[in-house]
Structure 1
Amino acid sequence: MAKTFFITGTDTEVGKTFVTRALMRAAAEAGKKVLGYKPVASGCELIDGELKNSDALTLQAASSIALPYHMHNPYAFAPAIAPHIAAAKANETISIHHIGEGLARLKETAVDWIFAEGAGGWRLPLDEQHLLSDWVRKEHLPVILVVGARLGCINHALLTLDAIRHDGLVVAGWVLNRVDPEMSHYEENAATLKQRIKAPLLGEIPWLGEEGEDTATGFIDLAPLLK
């Protein structure tokens, strides 16, 4: 059965999808059949009569086998707002059980690894009682943390790691993604993160710009995940 990794970030807009695609491509180059899963997405557009999210479409395109869009993204909402608010406005309920069923269906396919990408940061509300992290904990998924290198990232990274481990989950690795090319003292901040984070570093991705996105895979080291 396919092994699943959950990708979370220190915040929104830290490059989770960018890094997830790089991880998927690196895994494919290592001979793994991969699938991408985006359980919940807001900020979707109506395409061919179906609400679709650009991040989920990216994961679908990077997947090894062709599946219908809704299998990659069971909950899609039009407004680019917090998913639990978007769901309430659409008179819908985000069900952890339904998200789990979606993952189970993906595991039934002939793939080796599934990369499930979260939304926002670790403590993302799904409704008044549940967080997306509750689902990750229920599924016992190993977590990969994307650290967006910008002012405040050390605090955000360490707090997020504490929360993940408090939930009893394994941090399979982390990726440092330079999202701010003008970040002051980047090297010093990167060194502090590497010294403080007690988990395998899967990659340090420099600022690549839009034209360099396809080269991100070259900065990924999957060796710790292959053990």
Structure 2
Amino acid sequence: MSHALSLFVTGTDTEIGKTLVSAALLRGFVREGLRATAMKPIAAGATLVDGVLHNEDADQLDDAANVLLPPDIRTPFMLKEPAAPHIAAAHENVMLDMTRIVDAHMQALDMADVVVVEGVGGFRVPLTDAHDTADLAFALNLPVVLVVGMRLGCISHALLTAEAIVARGLRIAGWVANRVDPAMLFPDENIDTLRTWLDRQYDAPLLGVVPHLSPASPDVAATHLDTNRLLQTLRAAQR
């Protein structure tokens, strides 16, 4: 049985920095001397490069990892259309089978010390007519890191997502504030509010505040994250 650590990264929405934070966590784990790898089980939006389908997010995760998985384990479902996964899958006559993802994750655990699994879109994005990303996180049974895109409206989005995570019986290992909107009014006050609510209601610590980075840099973002605290939480959850 593998003793590798693993976590599921979700977000308050799409385009709020899940990939940046996932890559930053990978860089942090590598700095800690761990063999770190990533899964992007479902990637929507892929292009052919030299006859091989590539997804920008999946490639960024590979760049940040120091253990590379075979493409069909890292991303069991690579969809061409940049659309909601169930729509892209239907368009390509693909059935998004969670069993295949769970099996791939089991294989990934045997290849590294820590596996970062990045979700697709927000936490409740449908994958089929009957299942969504929350069901995938539940099937994998992983602690969740919540990425909050700091912009107007983020407090409600963050608390709704946290409520949905806990309602599935999953643990929030921590959350990350990502400054996606550099012009946001009162960002520190918003972060303080979320810190109070998420810590009090869900025992979910703030793992760090990622400043607005242009261009985005996982190495720079990693310096703003408390990877060590997250590792302690993951190890405690495994006991």
2:189 counterpart of 1:188: yes
Q: What is the Cα deviation at residue 137 of structure 1?
A: 0.8
Contact 1:41 1:53 (8 Å CA) reproduced:
yes
1:30 to 19, 32, 35: 32
Paired residues of 1:15 and 1:177 also in contact (CA < 8 A): yes
> Aligned AA for 1:217?
A
What is the CA-CA distance between 1:225 and the residue it aligns to?
2.1
Gaps of 5+ in 2: 233-239
Q: Which residue number in structure 2 is paired with residue 145 of structure 1? A: 146
CA distance in 2, matches of 1:181, 1:224: 27
Q: What's the Cα RMSD here?
A: 1.2
Please identify, of 93-102 and 187-196, the stretch whose mean Cα deviation from structure 2 is larger: 187-196
Please state how far the C-alpha of 1:48 moved relative to its aligned partner: 2.3
Q: Does 1:219 align with 2:224?
A: yes
What SS does the corresponding residue of 2:226 show, helix, strand or coil? coil
Confirm or deny that 1:62 pairs with 2:64. yes
Question: Where does residue 235 of structure 2 map in the other structure?
Answer: none
CA pair 168-184 structure 1, distance change in 2 beyond 3 A: same
Residue 184 of structure 1 aligns to a residue whose secondary structure is coil
Task: Answer yes or no: is 1:206 the counterpart of 2:211.
Answer: yes
Residue equivalent to 2:43: 41
Measure how far apart 1:217 and its partner are.
1.0
Q: How big is each residue's C-alpha offset from its partner over 1:38-83, in whole Å with a ceiling of 9 and x where there is no partner?
A: 0001111112212221000111122222333222111111111001
Would the alpha carbon gap of residues 212 and 91 (structure 1) be closer, same or farther in structure 2, given more than 3 Å must change?
A: closer
CA distance in 2, matches of 1:76, 1:211: 24
Percent of aligned pairs sharing the same letter: 43
Q: Give how far 1:12 is off.
A: 0.4
Please give the alpha-carbon distance, in whole angstroms, between the structure 2 residues aligned to 1:149 and 1:51.
Answer: 32
Is the 2:20–2:216 Cα contact (8 Å) retained in structure 1?
A: no
85-94 vs 203-212, which moves further: 203-212
Question: Runs of 5+ in structure 1 lacking a partner?
Answer: none
* Aligned residue identity for 2:207: L
Contact between 1:200 and 1:224, CA under 8 Å: does it hold in 2? no
Q: Are 2:177 and 2:208, in contact at CA under 8 Å, matched by a contact in 1?
A: yes
Tell me, in whole angstroms, the C-alpha distance in 2 between the residues paired with 1:212 and 1:114. 20
Residue pair 2:148, 2:175 contacting (<8 A) in 1 also: yes
SS at match of 1:22: helix
2:236 maps to what in 1? Answer: none
Structure 1 counterpart of 2:13:
11
Match of 2:223, SS state, is helix
TM-score (norm 2): 0.91
Q: How does 1:99-178 map to 2 (within 5 A)?
A: 99-109=101-111, 111-178=112-179
Cα distance between partner residues in 1 of 2:32 and 2:226: 10
Residues 1:76 and 2:78 are matched in the alignment: yes
Q: Which runs of 4+ in 1 moved over 6 A?
A: none
CA distance in structure 1 between the partners assigned to 2:91 and 2:33 by the alignment: 43
Is the 1:40–1:119 Cα contact (8 Å) retained in structure 2? yes
